[in-house]
Amino acid sequence: MELIVIGKDGKDTGRKVTLSDEVFGIEPNQHVVWLDVKQYLANQRQGTHKSKERAEINRTGKKLYRQKGTGSARHGSRRAPIFVGGGRVFGPRPKDHGFKVNKKVKSLAKRSVLSSRAQENKIAIVENFTFDVPRTKDYLTFLNSIELNGQKTLLITPAVDQNVYLSSRNLPKTSVTAAAQINTYDLMNADMLIMCEGAVEVIESMLKK
């Protein structure tokens, strides 16, 4: 598949980029995409939720009333779960919600999403660019020039570019990431993928078998 390269100003540069069929032209595997997204979301969970059980409640250990003769059930502690302020039965404890997904599965998931985006014409190629200083207005001008302002976009740069990242950080529906740091969730979450020329080379070298 060939895509034209547009400039930072939104004009056609006259160049084209050929996307590798091995990365952008496979039959998408929806199951591995689901697995990778599920793992990503699971890893975002802190797992720090915790409630106190009866052994952790700080209340008196004195017996409430005598064992027999009251007509009520016998009790020996205010920490029992049936009392207000008592411990919780089988409450949540800190845990790690993450699970393992093999590298080959994660690679297949990324190639599947990229292929789906290519089939849907949801990929735009722009020439490599940067900003002299972080400035939100400059990034907004860039989005307007390529007619993607208001859409949920993901810009993939060849390497980490702090000026571009900081320029986009305050804008809603915009994300910026380096080619080596792409993940399936971000690729799925964006309505339009904007790739720099250099980022295409990095992605293909990273995901080719």
- Supply the pTM of this predicted model: 0.82
- Give yes or no for residue 102 having a pLDDT over 80: yes
Strands 192-196 and 153-157: parallel
A 10 A CB-CB count for 23 gives 21
CB distance 207 to 183 below 8 Å: no
**What is the mean pLDDT of the segment spanning 103-116?**
95
pLDDT at 149 over 90: no
Q: Kindly report, residue by residue over 17-28, the tens digit of the pLDDT.
A: 999 999 999 999
pLDDT at residue 150 tops 90: no
Is a pLDDT exceeding 90 seen at residue 193? yes
The full set of domains in the chain, from first to last, is 2-46+97-207 (3.40.1370.10), 51-91 (no CATH)
Quickly count: other Cβ atoms within 10 Å of residue 190's Cβ. 21
Does residue 209 register a pLDDT over 80?
A: no
**Residue-wise pLDDT tens digits, 30-63:** 999 999 999 999 999 999 999 999 999 998 888 9
